[in-house]
Amino acid sequence: MKNHRLLRMLALTLTVIMLIPTFATVANAQAGDEEYVIQLLVSSSQTHTRSDETSIGKYIKDKFNIVFEYLPVNDDSEKQSLMLATGDYPEIIRLEGGDMVQDYIDADAILCLDDYIASSTNFKTRYAEQIPYWRASSKDGKIYTWQRYVPSDLTNAPEILDIGTRTDILEQQAWPNLVSEDDWFNYLQKAMQDNPETNGQKTVGMVLPLAESWGPSLLTEFCEKGGETNDQGTNDAVVWNQVEQKWVPTWTLPAVVDSYRFFNRLYKAGILDPDCFTDTYDQVQEKINSGRALSVWYCTWMATSANATLVSNGNSNMQYINMPIRSNAQVKAGLKREIRVETTRPFDSYAITKNAKDPDRLFAFLDWALSDEGQILLQSGIEGKHYTIVDGKRTPTEEYINGVLTNPNYSSDEGFDLASFFGSCKQGDAQGIAFNLQAAPAYYDEIFLSDRQKEAYKNLGWSNSLSYWTDTSELAPTGLAATCILDPDSNEGKLDEKFKAWIAVAATKLVTADDFDATWAELNQEYEAMNVGTIVDKYNEILATNQEHYNQYVTTTP
C-alpha cells in the first residue's frame, strides 16, 4: 500500500514537472510581448544562438525589437524538401535554385511579393535591374523571392577564385609569377620536394573539398580562366558562353578536358591530396588552417579565413595569397577572361513563407534593410565602432581592421551579415564606397591585406592584389543565364540528374586514371550514349523564351 502511494506521488510529481515549461511558454505568449523572434536556418558554423548576442544584432533589436534565433543545419538543400513535405518551414526561408523555388510556389507555401513591392520604398529601387529578370523566369510573371549578393557594381572588387598559395613557398622559389598549368605543376612539385613536412605533419600539394556535393564541379573550373565561357552552370551538363550568349555542352569543352587532364597530372605526381575525394569542407579547412596545404584550388575564401588562424598561431609567414591560373592553351590563345558578375542568383533565393506570423512587419523590415542605411549597418557595421566618416567617406576603424585580420570569428561575433536574407548587395553608397568595406577597392589592399600579403604582391611585381585580373579580364554580367531553369520532372530534367550523378563519378575516374586518354575515350562513349545534347537544346530553348518575357517586363515598373 505504502509503495503504491509513493509510486502515485512520484508519477504526479513528474507530470507536474513536465507540464510547468508548457504553462510558462503559454503564459509568456499571452503576456503580449512585442519582441518578434524569427527563426532562421543557418550554417552549422554559426557561433551564436540569437542575433542580439552580437553588437549589430543588439542595434537591430533596439531599433525594431526583432531578434533572429539561429537553427544550425548541415545540409540546407535537403532540409528544404523535407520542410516543404511536412509544412514545417520557418517564416523566412532560403531556397537553393529555381526548381526548389517553383516547388514552394506550386505548394502555395510562399507569399507573392507583388503587392508589397508596389508599395515598397527600397526594394523596388534596389532590385530595379533584377525585377524584370525575376519576372521573366517566373511561370506566372509574379515575384515570390529575392536574392542575395545582387545587384553588383564597380564599387565592389570582383570576386576572383583561382589558387590560394602559401607566401613562404613563393618566397622559397624567389617569387615566381605563376600563370600557366605548367608553371603551377613545376612550382608545386618542387615545393613538395623541398617541404615534405609542415609543422611535423606531412605536406599536401593541393587541396579541395571533393566530398562536398558541389565538389566535383570544381574540377571543371578552367572553363572560366580565359576564353568565351565562364562557370555559370558547370554543375550541370551546360556551361555559359558569354561571347555567343548561349549554352554549350560542358563535357566536350576543350578547357574542361584540359581541367581534368591537369588534375590527373597533379594526382599522378602525388601533388593532389589523395584524401581530397573523401575530405569534407571542414577537413580541408583544417589542412589549410594548419598550413599543411601548399595550395587550395578555387576555394580561396578558405585560405583568407585561414590567414587569421596562421597569424594567431605564429605562422604569419605562411599566409596565403590568391594567384591566377590558366591552362597552357588559354595562355597561348591570350583571350580575355570573362569574370562572371551575377545579375541574378537563384542559388541564394529568399522568400517569406505562409508560416510568417507578421509578413507585413517582415517585409517592412526587409525594405528598410535594403536601404543604404540598412546595407551599411549590416555590411559595414556601426558608426564609431566599425567605421568612422573621414572626408565624407566611410573608413574602417582600427578595431575593425585588427578584428578582421587577427580573429577568424570576428565577423560572426560582431553580427555582420547576421541574417543572409538582407540581401548583402554588392553595391556602394553615394560616395562610391562599397557597403562591405572589405570589398571596397579603396581599402581592399591597403587595409585588409596583411603586411605579409602586401609584401608578397609587391615582390611579385603587382601594383595591387587584383592587377593581373584587371589587366587580363573583362566583366561579364550573366544577364538571363541564371534565369534558365530546367523542369526536374521533364525528360531533360531527369536526364540532367542522371548526368550529374554520372559526371561526379566520371570526373573522379579521369582524375585518378592511369591512362587519361583511354579513360576519356571510354567515358566519352558513355556520354554520347546519354544524348546530353537534348539538355543543351532545352536550355537554349528556355533562354529564348525567357528573353521574350524579359523584353516584355523590362520596361514595366515593379
Partner 1 sequence: MTQGVQVAGRRGTLQKMVRQRQLYMMLLPALASVAIFTYAPLFGWWMAFSDYKLGKPIFDAPWAGLKYFIEFFTDTAGAGHVILNTVVMNVSALVLGLVCALAFAIFLKEVRWKWFRRFVQSASFFPYFMSWVIIYAVIYALFSNDGAVNASLQSLGLIDKSINILGNPKTSWGLIITVDVWNILGYNSVMFIAAIAGIPDEQYEAARIDGATRFHEMWHVTLPNLIPTMIVLLILGSGSIFNSYLDQFFIFTNTLNISTMEVFDYYIYRFGLKLGNFSYATAVGVIKTLISLVLLVGVNWLSRKATDQSLF
Give the length of the chain: 558
Q: Beta strand pairing status for 293-297 and 204-207?
A: parallel
The one among 132, 216, 291, 346 contacting partner 1 by CB under 8 A: 216
Q: How distant, in Å, are the alpha carbons of 68, 94, 99, 118 from that of 421?
A: 11, 7, 19, 20
Q: Determine, following the binding rule CB under 8 A, whether residue 136 of this chain makes contact with partner 1.
A: no
Q: Within 13 Å and on the Cβ side, how many CA atoms surround 174? A: 0
Contact at 8 Å (CB) between 223 and 250? yes
Q: Determine, following the binding rule CB under 8 A, whether residue 504 of this chain makes contact with partner 1.
A: yes
User: x/- contact string, 509-528, with partner 1 (CB under 8 A)?
Assistant: ---x----------------
User: x/- contact string, 92-111, with partner 1 (CB under 8 A)?
Assistant: --------x--xx-xxxx--
- What does the H/E/C string look like for 120-186? CCCHHHHCCCHHHHHHHHCCCCCCCCEECCCCECCCCCCCCCCEEEEHHHHHHCCCCCCCEHHHHHH
Nearest distance from C-beta of residue 177 to partner 1, angstroms: 32
Nearest distance from C-beta of residue 73 to partner 1, angstroms: 14
Q: Which of residues 386 and 538 has its CB atom nearest to partner 1 in the complex?
A: 538
Nearest distance from C-beta of residue 279 to partner 1, angstroms: 9
**Options 58-66, 78-86, 298-306, 546-554: segment touching partner 1 (CB under 8 A):** 78-86
Nearest distance from C-beta of residue 270 to partner 1, angstroms: 8
Nearest distance from C-beta of residue 104 to partner 1, angstroms: 7
Nearest distance from C-beta of residue 188 to partner 1, angstroms: 17
**Options 140-148, 149-157, 274-282, 447-455: segment touching partner 1 (CB under 8 A):** 274-282
* Residue 24, number of CB atoms within 10 A of its CB: 10
| Residue keyed to cell 609542415 | 198
Q: Which of residues 114 and 282 has its CB atom nearest to partner 1 in the complex?
A: 282
Which of positions 178-207 make contact with partner 1 (CB under 8 A)? 201-202
Q: Which of residues 151 and 215 has its CB atom nearest to partner 1 in the complex?
A: 215
The one among 16, 243, 501, 554 contacting partner 1 by CB under 8 A: 501
CA-to-CA distance for 434 and 26, rounded, in angstroms? 45
CA-to-CA distance for 7 and 5, rounded, in angstroms? 5
Q: Which of residues 274 and 432 has its CB atom nearest to partner 1 in the complex?
A: 274
Instruction: Kindly report whether the peptide bond that precedes residue 151 is cis, defined as omega within 30 degrees of 0.
Output: yes
Q: How distant, in Å, are the alpha carbons of 106, 275, 292 from that of 295?
A: 45, 14, 9
Question: Which 8-state DSSP code applies to residue 438?
Answer: G
Hey, which residues does 321 pair with through a beta bridge? Answer: 165
Q: Determine, following the binding rule CB under 8 A, whether residue 84 of this chain makes contact with partner 1.
A: yes
Q: Which of residues 101 and 160 has its CB atom nearest to partner 1 in the complex?
A: 101
CA-to-CA distance for 260 and 229, rounded, in angstroms? 16
Cα Rg of the chain, angstroms: 26
Q: Determine, following the binding rule CB under 8 A, whether residue 488 of this chain makes contact with partner 1.
A: yes
Q: Determine, following the binding rule CB under 8 A, whether residue 497 of this chain makes contact with partner 1.
A: yes
CA-to-CA distance for 352 and 362, rounded, in angstroms? 8
Q: Which of residues 280 and 545 has its CB atom nearest to partner 1 in the complex?
A: 280
User: x/- contact string, 373-402, with partner 1 (CB under 8 A)?
Assistant: ------------------------------
Q: How distant, in Å, are the alpha carbons of 128, 220, 278, 372, 532 from that of 516?
A: 48, 15, 21, 53, 22
Q: Which of residues 35 and 106 has its CB atom nearest to partner 1 in the complex?
A: 106
* Contacts to partner 1 by CB under 8 A: 77-78, 81-82, 84-85, 87, 100, 103-104, 106-109, 201-202, 210-211, 215-216, 270, 273-275, 277-278, 488, 497-498, 501, 504-505, 507-508, 512
